[in-house]
Amino acid sequence: MLAFFKLLMSFAPWLSFLIIARDTLLRVEIGLSVALALTVVMGVLRLHRGIILWVGVVFFGAATIAVIGFHDSWTLRHLGVLANGALALGAWLTIALKKPFTLDYAKEHVDPSLWTDPFFIRTNVLMTAVWATAFTLNAVLAFGKMEQVALSELAYELISYAILIGTAMFTVWYPEHLREVRAASR
């Protein structure tokens, strides 16, 4: 349970944005400001790192400037797609660069001698691919919600939350499962 909580905390800026930025322009502006501030503070305190930190800085910085500074209605309308798309792009990019973003967090729980182990790297590529897929699916869902295609707004949100919760649960379960499998095979 502690691992799940730590995982949620690493996404605190994104979750705060998701929770706060709804229904009114003021709430969106507050959500963007809180998320940007959390991203910066967590980065300074080293609670947040790697590509997800930089995606947050760029996304929340640019979105805050566009929405609060320029009152850009296109950005405002597309915030859900842009947020999930930015996370998806960042996650897929780390796989392409052979530095899956989950490595930054996994190294906290693994002996440094294993950091270059091909099995450890492959495991993190898989976990990052699961996150990248979740972010991509949520970008598609955000687009469907924005365009009011097929489902109700509530259905889009519930599916999106289910994807994120399922991905977080997988992230906590999978490494422990692999440890158990390896221990049983010895």
Q: What is the pLDDT of residues 98-118, one digit of tens each?
A: 999 998 888 887 889 989 999
Task: Name the residue range of residue 15's domain.
Answer: 2-184
Q: Where are the alpha helices (DSSP H) in the chain?
A: 2-10, 12-20, 25-44, 50-64, 73-77, 79-96, 102-106, 118-147, 153-184
Q: How does pLDDT run across 111-147, given as a tens digit for each residue?
A: 899 899 999 999 999 999 999 999 999 999 999 999 9
Q: What is the pTM of this model?
A: 0.91
Counting the structural domains of the chain, the total is 1
Decide: 163 and 134 in contact? Cβ < 8 Å. yes
Tokens representing 35 are 């998320």
